[in-house]
Amino acid sequence: MRYSALSLLRGALSSHRNWQPAWASPEPKSAYDIVIVGAGGHGLATAYYLAKNHGLSNVAVIERGWLGGGNTGRNTTVVRSNYLFPESARLYDFSLKLYEGLSRELNFNVMLSQRGQVMLAHSRHDLESIARWVNTLHMHGIDGTLLTREQVGALVPALDLSPAARYPVLGGLRQPRAGTARHDAVAWGYARAASRLGVDIIQDCEVTGFTTGADGAVSGVETRFGPIRAGRVGIAAAGHSSVLAGLAGVRLPVTSYALQAMVTEPVKPRLDTVVISPGTGVYVSQSDKGEMVIGGSLDLFASYAQRGSFAVMQSVLAGTLAMFPSFSRLRLMRQWAGIVDVVHDSSPLIGPTPVPGLFINCGWGTGGFKAIPAGGWTLAHVLATGRNHELAEPFQLERFVSGRFIDEAAAAGIAH
Ligand SMILES: Cc1cc2nc3c(=O)[nH]c(=O)nc-3n(C[C@H](O)[C@H](O)[C@H](O)COP(=O)(O)OP(=O)(O)OC[C@H]3O[C@@H](n4cnc5c(N)ncnc54)[C@H](O)[C@@H]3O)c2cc1C
């Protein structure tokens, strides 16, 4: 069933009893050409592009919980492509371009809202770095403008611009094409489109190990329901990537941390852009429901506990109130965390592992929601062809041997 105004009308006329499940829930087959571990955005997008770009639909996505229940359903939905190094700028801008056509392509409204993002400069040093940053963006052909203090004030009237502010604002960097997209819709849209193309999505089925053939190549996965054979296996398991790769004997340069976020009660429109302050390590946007969505720094100790510590929550809120004193009257409604996979140079890994037939897409850390289309596209490419996509070439594990790091810690947005 295609979603359209007409299908909505038909639904209304039939008391909404005509809707079909958005994706199928089949029993796992004993063998597939390709198995993907993890039904987050990256795993589901990989499956979709395998079917759509490469005509491969004998594919299963295996998820231990429910699809989109990992970081994809826990993030603060910011999308942008204002990265510093050419390799990352190319990759993330490709992703943003795919986002720009995604609702139409998937026939699913991912609610992309290109309301722009403003990164604040709190000191003369910040101003100098963002001026350099804007020049770099222009060299990459990416939109970005330098804002004066007054221009920041006009865009974000709720911001405290008084000279006595704890973090005075001297200017900002704006990416107009940045914004937000509905995180669940991205997972659901890719799941529905992949399922329609014949991909099996198996939920509630944990992968507990890998099987290998006599040649040492991966020949399938072990699951709670028994083994499933596969020609190739892709891991897209975010914070659990190193655990899974470890089961295949691969040690990844990934550390898992809790990253938390929180929302206030909903209020009338007050903030119509995404504001990030690298100085305080805090970023804020307003959801379509009216909640202030607040994020900040990692809990800086390795952890698999999906909750986040009180001390970080307190410092994130202190930073938020320093910028937006009027928010002090809002009540906090929810707080949660996800387990993010941080690579030491704050850049992802997309490509083969030392185990033949086993591929990986991970290391997106605090910023992989915006990269879902590109991450899926490039992992699908290497799984289907055995060759890295040119955009993924710089993001190989091999850089930890060659030393060709892409240190995106500054552009990663929040404190690492
Ligand atoms: C609080 C928070 C805020 C964030 N804000 C942003 C933001 O504003 N913008 C942005 O770009 N990024 C943001 N991120 C990062 C972003 O959410 C992630 O980088 C991205 O969602 C990763 O997607 P994924 O598909 O790789 O992982 P996930 O969505 O986590 O999916 C991985 C899946 O693998 C499954 N899995 C794990 N182990 C197994 C196993 N053994 N067997 C089977 N399945 C398994 C998990 O259950 C999970 O569903 C944020 C993250 C958090 C936590």
Task: Point out the ligand 1 atom lying closest to the alpha carbon of residue 258.
Answer: 53
Nearest residue (CA) to ligand 1, atom 22: 368
Tens-place pLDDT, residues 351-374: 999 999 999 999 999 999 999 999
Exposure on the CB side of residue 410, measured as CA atoms within 13 A: 11
Percentage of residues of the chain with pLDDT beyond 90: 94
Counting ligand 1 atoms within 8 A of each CB, the residue from 48, 61, 62, 75 with the most, and so the one to mutate, is 75
Establish whether residue 56 lines the binding site of ligand 1, counting it when its CB lies within 6 angstroms of any ligand atom. Answer: no
Whole-number Å distance between alpha carbons of 33 and 59 = 6
Tokens for 216, please give them: 């040492």
Task: Point out the ligand 1 atom lying closest to the alpha carbon of residue 41.
Answer: 25
Mean pLDDT within 329-356: 97
The answer for residues whose C-beta is within 8 angstroms of residue 163's C-beta and 6 or more apart is none
Model confidence at 131, pLDDT cuts 50, 70, 90, reads very high
Establish whether residue 351 lines the binding site of ligand 1, counting it when its CB lies within 6 angstroms of any ligand atom. Answer: no
Establish whether residue 74 lines the binding site of ligand 1, counting it when its CB lies within 6 angstroms of any ligand atom. Answer: yes
Rounded to the nearest angstrom, the distance between the alpha carbon of 237 and the centre of ligand 1 is: 7
Single-letter residue type at 307: R
For residue 415, is pLDDT > 80? no
Tokens for 186, please give them: 């991205």
Mean pLDDT within 56-66: 98
Rounded to the nearest angstrom, the distance between the alpha carbon of 111 and the centre of ligand 1 is: 19
Rounded to the nearest angstrom, the distance between the alpha carbon of 340 and the centre of ligand 1 is: 7
Q: What's the CA angle centered on 179, arms 173 and 182, to 5 degrees?
A: 160
For residue 338, is pLDDT > 80? yes
Model confidence at 412, pLDDT cuts 50, 70, 90, reads confident
Nearest residue (CA) to ligand 1, atom 3: 75
List the one residue out of 240, 189, 248 whose CA is nearest residue 362.
Answer: 240
Establish whether residue 47 lines the binding site of ligand 1, counting it when its CB lies within 6 angstroms of any ligand atom. Answer: no
pLDDT of residue 396: 98
For residue 235, is pLDDT > 60? yes
Mean pLDDT within 302-327: 94
Tens-place pLDDT, residues 242-276: 999 999 999 999 999 999 999 999 999 999 999 99
Percentage of residues of the chain with pLDDT beyond 70: 99
pLDDT of residue 409: 84
Rounded to the nearest angstrom, the distance between the alpha carbon of 62 and the centre of ligand 1 is: 15
List the one residue out of 48, 66, 39, 120 whose CA is nearest residue 322.
Answer: 120
Residues 153-156: contacts with CB within 8 Å, 24+ apart? 155/116, 155/118, 155/273, 156/118, 156/271, 156/273, 156/275
Rounded to the nearest angstrom, the distance between the alpha carbon of 21 and the centre of ligand 1 is: 24
Establish whether residue 221 lines the binding site of ligand 1, counting it when its CB lies within 6 angstroms of any ligand atom. Answer: no
Taking phi over 0 as left and psi of -120 to 50 as alpha, with beta for the rest, 33 belongs to alpha
Model confidence at 416, pLDDT cuts 50, 70, 90, reads low
Tens-place pLDDT, residues 178-211: 999 999 999 999 999 999 999 999 999 999 999 9
For residue 21, is pLDDT > 90? yes
pLDDT of residue 280: 86
Counting ligand 1 atoms within 8 A of each CB, the residue from 74, 366, 370, 372 with the most, and so the one to mutate, is 366
Whole-number Å distance between alpha carbons of 49 and 41 = 12
Establish whether residue 240 lines the binding site of ligand 1, counting it when its CB lies within 6 angstroms of any ligand atom. Answer: yes
